A and B are shown apart, each in its own frame.
Chain A
Amino acid sequence: MEKRMNASLQRPEIKLQSLKEDIKEFFKISGWEKKLQNAVYSELSVFPLPSHPAAPPEHLKEPLVYMRKAQGSWEKRILKSLNSMCTELSIPLARKRPVGEQKELLNKWNEMGTDEPDLSLFRPVYAPKDFLEVLINLRNPNYENGDSLSFRTHLGLIQVPLKVKDIPELKEFFVELGLTTGQLGIDDSTQVPPELFENEHVRIGQKVLAEQDSAAAQQYIRQGSPTALRAELWALILNISSQPEDILYYEQLKTNVIQHDLLVDSLIYKDVKLTASNDDYYFVFEDYLYQVLLCFSRDTSVLGHFAYNSASPPKSYIRGKLGLEEYAVFYPPNGVIPFHGFSMYVAPLCFLYHEPSKLYQIFREMYVRFFFRLHSISSHPSGIVSLCLLFETLLQTYLPQLFYHLREIGAQPLRISFKWMVRAFSGYLATDQLLLLWDRILGYNSLEILAVLAAAVFAFRAVNLMEVTSLAAAEAVLADLSTLKVMPLLQIFLFATVT
């Protein structure tokens, strides 16, 4: 922006007296006003509201003390697990690659998938079900959890009384998903003539893109995004534009990957091999996944999001300088330790973006806006604890018989739906359906739709679920979600179920 401004200032018709007005005019004409607006809008969406001046920084990360403590203990467990893996396998946390190895890696940068390193000794640091156990044991010490069943007892697995929306509030929040509003995912099916909704919606989408307005795009995408416009719309909403500096930054990260080998890299390799490579839809993108995730773990700009994330980045010291603050570093450089299934956050994006640096930027922005909330303990309405409680509450309130039956047979519904929500349904839904779902995550700037969809899936298969008699059988009924159509399910559950 500065460069453009300087260029415009060279023009002779600019006079000093009217400099302020001329700059404003220049902004409007050249489209920089829009860019500024988009940038401000993006900051407002990501950062929490300014808090009370006396509130310490931990309060901004997470206001409830017992949740901060729980997150701290969980992190300690993860660090212990990583440290013990390090000592057991005698592999250093980080190692500078010798020059020969660097050259080799640079040569096969675009086909790291062909590598078959021995990963048998590595195991993921944790899996979603380990995290679920931690959430189940989360307790507020000031909350009266009586021994006997009373109105205070939560019938589900989550035992903390966070505020979650009920269906009337969800109807208001998701008003654009209502029965009388056109949706992509419903009103673009083959039986519906495109003149009724689809054509007009595409036309509006093109107009929104031409205007380059983030806020308008976010509002527009609540009704779904046409496939052809999706990549640009997401980039507009996330305020990503590929500038030369961004491409350079990505190249710098690539250099970091080549120079240093991290233990975390093996975890990433293992995760990709175990999850995305085995998936029918995503195995073709295996190489892209390495290119994104390895660079992601070197990216120190991600450390900024820990200001509003209840988690904290793991810390260490340079060997021999234990305790000296000048030699304190974060590990991995971006502070995020991947868990089993982490690569599934990136995989669906590979359908939209083929240029590695753009794919990288989009993933990074999606992570620091949304995905981090799915694996840290916090009281935020889009945090995984609230999503679990929202799911259980919706199920109990609107399908009480089903909930009671599943509970009686030892199949607490959250045990089945947790893995869907932690992965934002990636790898469980068909990709076109998943992208329609993620459209709404962006449109509403909230992950609550994941909990609503999970409840809607249970409602859809309620008849079969009422007949099962064990957790394994319930899992079998809900094992395959690949045929589900997301938008009709959501619409029926929110707007067409008799309450």
Chain B
Amino acid sequence: MSRVSVPCHVKGTVALQVGDVRTSQGRPGVLVIDVTFPSVAPFELQEIMFKNYYTAFLSIRVRQHTSTHTPPKWVTCLRDYCLMPDPHSEEGAQEYISLFKHQMLCDMAKVLELRLILRQPSPLWVSFTVEELQIYQQGPKSPSMTFPKWLSHPVPCEQPAPLIEGLPDPSRVSSEVQQMWALTEMIRASHTSTRIGRFDVDGCYDLNLLSYT
């Protein structure tokens, strides 16, 4: 299914913390990232993709466009999705993640705004966030092609000509020939991918020193 990237504006992360003073003992364990779509009309969300950076759990809330005059409300569409099975260890810490429409708790038909709530309960990490956030909506459906008339309305079968004695049935022969042709085409198309294993360039392997890049 094709998808189209939706340009989004990711606001700076806001840390939720108890108390005002940011001491070295306590680091925020909850971050909130707001994602708005200023130049796009309410759209149907297909996929959210991002690279994790030490976030353990992710919740997403969405605000959708409603047809009535009531102001749109925030609804949770993903609750405590686990990105790191063990928040104290590196497993899953820098993985690429995709979240799809069907994983969401509610319908994502007319998305106005998204709010990502990141949680990292372990005090071991200096910071955590999600990076390279991209939102996708459904791409346009493939344009319907107009079939030539003779394909969509095949001419009714004519009466086959009477078989001449001694010759094989023409329809059988044609199907066999078709299959043979398909086989030969396949063999011609596939070429071996085994490497020859040359490590030199035209017989020469006289090297400079090793490169550091």
Contact = CB atoms under 8 A, between A and B. Distances in A.
Interface of A: 16-17, 19, 51-52, 54-55, 59, 63-65, 76, 79-80, 82-83, 86-87, 92-96, 140-144, 152, 160-163, 249, 252-253, 256, 260, 298-301, 314-319, 322, 326-327, 329-331, 333, 379
Contacts of B49: 54
A96 B202 CA distance: 13
A252 B207 CA distance: 21
B206 interface: yes
Given A51-B96, A163-B86, A300 B208 contact: no
Contact of B90 (A298, A329, A379): A379
Contact of A52 (B96, B127, B201): B96
Contact of B201 (A65, A143, A327): A327
A317 B94 contact: no
B118 to A, nearest CB: 14
A147 to B, nearest CB: 11
Contact of B197 (A76, A142, A299, A319): A299
A21 to B, nearest CB: 13
Contacts of B175: 16-17
Nearest to B197: A300
A316 B206 CA distance: 10
Q: What band does the interface of chain B fall in when counting residues whose beta carbon is under 8 Å from A?
A: 35 or more
B125 interface: yes
B210 A314 contact: yes
B89 A162 contact: yes
Closest 4 CB pairs of A and B: A333-B199, A52-B96, A163-B89, A163-B91
Interface string B149-189: 00000000000000000000000000110011000000000
B123 interface: yes
Interface string B130-147: 001000000000000000
B96 A317 contact: no
A94 B210 contact: no
Contact of B211 (A64, A300, A316): A316
Contact of B210 (A17, A256, A316): A316
Contact of A64 (B88, B94, B97): B94
A336 to B, nearest CB: 13
Contact of A298 (B94, B95, B199, B204): B199
Given A16-B176, A82-B210, A329-B207, A52 B97 contact: yes
Contacts of A51: 96
Nearest to A317: B208
Contacts of B207: 92-94, 316-319, 329, 331
B195 interface: yes
Interface residue SS majority, chain B = loop
Given A65-B94, A249-B197, A331 B210 contact: yes
B213 to A, nearest CB: 8
B182 to A, nearest CB: 10
B80 to A, nearest CB: 20
Nearest to A252: B197
A94 B123 contact: no
Contacts of A379: 90
Interface string B32-74: 0000000000000000010101100000000000000000000
B96 A301 contact: no
A161 B124 contact: yes
Contacts of A65: 94
B77 to A, nearest CB: 21
Given A55-B96, A329-B207, A300 B198 contact: yes
Contact of A316 (B54, B179, B209): B209
Contacts of A92: 206-207
A311 B24 CA distance: 37
A456 B209 CA distance: 45
B126 to A, nearest CB: 5
A379 B91 CA distance: 9
13 contacts: A16-B176, A17-B176, A19-B179, A55-B96, A63-B94, A79-B212, A94-B205, A96-B204, A163-B90, A249-B197, A315-B210, A315-B213, A331-B210
